[in-house]
Structure 1
C-alpha cells in the first residue's frame, strides 16, 4: 500500500498484510499462556509444538512467541529459515545461528562444538537456547532425528536446547507414527490451533484496525459479515479485508460500509450465475 492510500484512511500501515508489526497481532489468553509455558520450558529444555491448518495463525504465533522471548533476560533465540534443508545445510545454518564455525562433513565435531556452546550458555544463564522452526512438516526425517539427538547429552539426562516446532496436519501425522515416537514423547508444551469462531475473528480484526490507527475504517456490519464468511481462518479474513480496502481506495470511499461490501462480493456471485445459466442451456 502506497503512502497516498495510507494517508487516505489515516493508517500507520496496512493492517491486512502478513508483515504488520508484531504489536498489530492479536494475543489471546490461550496464546499468552502458551508463550509463558515456553518461557518456563527454556529453563529446563525440551520440545514445544504448534499445529494447525494453513492460514490459522501458526506463523503469527511464532512471531508473538519470539517477541515475548526477546523480552526475557539471557535468552538466546535462533530461527531456522530453511526447514527443508538437508543435514549438511542444517548444520551450516545452526553454526551461523549460534555463532560457531562448523564443518558439515564432520557431524561429530559439529555436534560437539554446538553442545559445548549451549552448555556454556546454560552454565552462565541457567537458560537453554531456543530454536524456532516454522513449516516443520517440510523437515527431512534425518534432520528431525539429528535435531532430537543433538538437543541432549549424557544419555538424554542433560537437555541442552529448547525447540519450538510449528507445522500443519502433516507434521502432526508424522509425529503419530512409530518412527517419530521418540520425538513426540519429548514434546512438553503443545498448542493445537483450531478453527476460530466469528467472535475471535472480530476481536482479531478489531485489534488490527486499532493498532493501525483506523478503528472506524470498517463498519460493525461489514466486520461481522466478513468474519462469518472467513470460515474460521484468519488468513482468509485478512485477504477479504485487503480486497475491500483496495476497492475502497479505488473509489476513494471514506469508509468500508455495507454498500461497498455488497458491490465487491457481488462480482464473483454474478460470474457464478453466468456459469449456471450456460449450464442450463
Structure 2
C-alpha cells in the first residue's frame, strides 16, 4: 500500500500485538516493572487492568518474554472455561500427562506433583491469564484454590491476571472476596497523554523503517490525540487510515484533513466537538 510512498519497510500501525513496537511510556513501563518486582517477591496474585485497546495483551507478551529462562510459565489467553477445563489447561501448559483427564482429583494431584517438582528444581512457576474478566465465577474460585498449593516455606504457583475494568466489578462480588484479598499488587493502565501520543507515533514509524522529518503535522497530532483518547489500539487505527488518506492524495505529510477523514471512517473514534466542524 503506502509503505514505499513514505519510505517504510512495513506497515507501522498493525493491530496485532508486537513487542518490537512497545513504547516505554510511563504507565506501561511502570506496570511491567511492578509485575517483575512482585513476581520476584513471590507474591500470590497480581492484577493489571485497563480499558479495551490500552495494550494489556502486548504487556502480557512482554512479561512472558521477560520471564523466559527465569521461570516456568503457563499462559491462558481465553479463560472462559469451566473449573475442570481450567485445570486441564494449566496441566497441559506445564506439560503434565494425566491418565484420566476427566477425574479432577487425579488432575489436581498430577498438577501438585509437577509444581512440587518444579519448585524443588528451583523453578518459579507463574500462571498468566489474559482477558480475565471473561472467567465464570466458579472458575475464579477454582483458580483461588489452585493458589492454596504450597509447601511449608514456598508458594507453588503465582498468578497474574490481565483484564478489562469489568474484572474489578467481578471481583467486588462478596462471594469472591477471598480471592480479592489475595491480590497484593495491582495496576490500572492509563491512556497516553498528548506528548506520549507523538512519541508513540514516532516510535512505531521508526520501527517500521521511517527516518524522515515529522510525518504527522502538529494539527494532525491534536486531532488524533483527542479522537483516540490516547488509546493505543485507536491510535493505530486512526494513524493507519490517516496514512492511507495522505497516500491516496499523493501527500508526503499527514495533516489535519487526513486525520479528520480517518475519524469520520472510524465509529469507535471519540467525538471531536468543534474540532470536527469541517468534517
TM-score after normalising by structure 2 = 0.83
> Per residue, is there more helix in 1 or in 2?
1
Q: 1:31 to 1:196 in 2, by over 3 A?
A: closer
CA distance in 1, matches of 2:119, 2:105: 21
Q: How well do the aligned residues superpose, as a CA RMSD in angstroms? A: 2.5
Q: 1:156 to 1:202 in 2, by over 3 A?
A: farther
CA distance in 1, matches of 2:265, 2:76: 41
Query: Which residue is 2:233 aligned to?
Result: 235
SS for the counterpart of 2:2 is helix
**More displaced 10-residue stretch of structure 1: 108-117 or 153-162:** 153-162
Total equivalences in the alignment: 262
Among 43, 67, 70, which residue is 2:65 paired with? 67
The alignment status of 1:143 with 2:136, answered yes or no, reads no
SS for the counterpart of 2:169 is helix
CA distance in 1, matches of 2:264, 2:70: 54
Give the conservation status (yes or no) of the 8 Å contact 1:90–1:143.
Answer: yes
SS for the counterpart of 1:143 is helix
CA distance in 2, matches of 1:12, 1:163: 38
SS for the counterpart of 2:8 is coil
SS for the counterpart of 1:79 is strand
TM-score after normalising by structure 1 = 0.82
Query: Which residue is 1:246 aligned to?
Result: 244
Give the conservation status (yes or no) of the 8 Å contact 1:25–1:60.
Answer: yes
Q: CA deviation at 1:149?
A: 0.8
CA distance in 2, matches of 1:252, 1:104: 60
Among 148, 159, 165, which residue is 1:163 paired with? 159
Give the conservation status (yes or no) of the 8 Å contact 1:45–1:161.
Answer: no
| Gap regions ≥5 residues in structure 1 | 269-281
Q: CA deviation at 1:20?
A: 5.0
Among 102, 114, 119, which residue is 2:111 paired with? 114
Query: Which residue is 1:82 aligned to?
Result: 78
CA distance in 2, matches of 1:57, 1:37: 16
Query: Which residue is 1:13 aligned to?
Result: 10
Query: Which residue is 1:37 aligned to?
Result: 34
| Gap regions ≥5 residues in structure 2 | 267-279
Query: Which residue is 2:101 aligned to?
Result: 104
